[in-house]
A = this chain, B = another copy of it.
Amino acid sequence: MRLATSVMRVQQLMISALDAALKPFGLTFSRYEVLVLLHFSKSGSLPLSKIGERLMVHPTSVTSAIDRLEAQGFVERVPDKDDRRRTLARLTTQGRATVKKATDAVSDIDFAITGLTDRQQDDAYQLLRRMRRASGDFPQ
């Protein structure tokens, strides 16, 4: 229980630091993750379902995030001609510029955020990986 509580507390601290770093760009970490995913995709666009799958969040969470990102002008919804059930979220020029700047801001705090050596970070990652496995998660 002590471990579970610590995991949650660290998550709370991290998300708080990341959200603060992203606030100047009008982003939260959740929405930033969506932009990064689109940024690294070939065409700069992905079906919403793919986004949910990759980020491991509920489809309705993706709809909500894309609603906000679209309202902000960072992405736009484009119908998928190959499968008319699908909607693609496509990064706009503004969205691409923003995610680049936001990534610099996030990188700056990434080191400070853990206070661990590279070796310790790796150990921690491996332990968390085991925990994910135990819960039926299959980290890539």
Among A8-16, A38-46, A76-84, the one that faces the other chain is A8-16
Residues 34-57 of A contacting B (Cβ, < 8 Å): 56
A98 to chain B, nearest CB (A): 18
**Of all chain B residues, which has the CB nearest A9?**
B132
15 A-B residue pairings within 8 Å (CB atoms): A6-B125, A6-B139, A7-B14, A8-B14, A8-B15, A9-B132, A10-B11, A12-B56, A113-B131, A113-B134, A115-B131, A115-B133, A116-B127, A116-B134, A123-B123
A residues lining the B interface (CB < 8 Å): 1-4, 6-15, 17-18, 56, 106, 110, 112-116, 120-121, 123-125, 127-135, 137, 139
